Structure 1
Amino acid sequence: MNLHEMNAYAIAGKVDELNLISLEGGIYLLEARMHGAAYPLSDTHGQVFPLRSVEHAREVLEAFPELPFNLIHTSVHDEMCGLSANGEDSLKVPITLHTGG
């Protein structure tokens, strides 16, 4: 889903929440959650759109309506130990979508 589509769904009230997923190496990926399914943000070529920081995500999402917005830190411990990763090891922290002006 590209940014324009994601914004249109958000304005229509169809996006339950936005999640900014923090990956190793300082890379962040954005996903919109709708009806329990995740839809990652993609660029104009259909590739996953990486973000540099929480502030970069806020800049990209500036025109979006206020929505629940979470920062998710994935656990790399299991991957380092050679075990499979599971969602229970992630840390989900609510943050503000828009900074005070």
Structure 2
Amino acid sequence: MYLHDLSAHAHAGHIDELNLISIEGGIYVLEVRMAGRGQSLHDENGRTLHLRSVEHARELLHELPQVPFHLVHASVHDEMCGMPTGTQNTLRVPISLSSSW
């Protein structure tokens, strides 16, 4: 999904929630959930858009109406070498689309 599509869907009330997923290395990816399905936000070249921070995401999304917005971190213990695969524990924190400042 592209930013202009996200904006149109958000203003039409079709977005269930946005999840800003923290990835190792200080990279964030925005997951858009609509109709029970998730998809990532893409740049103008069709590649997954990488964001630098929560504030970067807020700057990008500042024109959207309020929708549920979460910061999602995978558990560090689940990423350790040798840990069993299976149920992953994630930390999912509601945050605001508007700046915290």
Q: TM-score, normalised by structure 2?
A: 0.89
Say what the alpha-carbon RMSD is for the aligned residues: 1.7
| Alpha-carbon distance between aligned partners in 1 of 2:76 and 2:36, rounded to the nearest angstrom | 24
**Structure 2: 5+ residue stretches without partners:** none
Counterpart amino acid of residue 84 in structure 1? T
Task: After TM superposition, give the deviation of residue 15 of structure 1 in Å.
Answer: 0.2
- What secondary structure sits across from 2:9 in the alignment? helix
Counterpart amino acid of residue 5 in structure 1? D
| Alpha-carbon distance between aligned partners in 2 of 1:73 and 1:89, rounded to the nearest angstrom | 9
Task: After TM superposition, give the deviation of residue 100 of structure 1 in Å.
Answer: 6.4
| Alpha-carbon distance between aligned partners in 2 of 1:92 and 1:34, rounded to the nearest angstrom | 18
**Structure 1: 5+ residue stretches without partners:** none
2:57 aligned partner:
57
User: 5 Å matches for 1:29-68?
Assistant: 29-68=29-68
| Alpha-carbon distance between aligned partners in 1 of 2:100 and 2:56, rounded to the nearest angstrom | 15
User: 5 Å matches for 1:14-93?
Assistant: 14-82=14-82, 83-84=84-85, 86=87, 88-93=88-93
Number of equivalenced pairs: 100
Counterpart amino acid of residue 30 in structure 2? L
Identity level (%): 55
Query: In 2 relative to 1, CA 85–26 (structure 1 residues): closer, same or farther, beyond 3 Å?
Result: farther
Counterpart amino acid of residue 71 in structure 1? L
| Alpha-carbon distance between aligned partners in 2 of 1:40 and 1:59, rounded to the nearest angstrom | 17
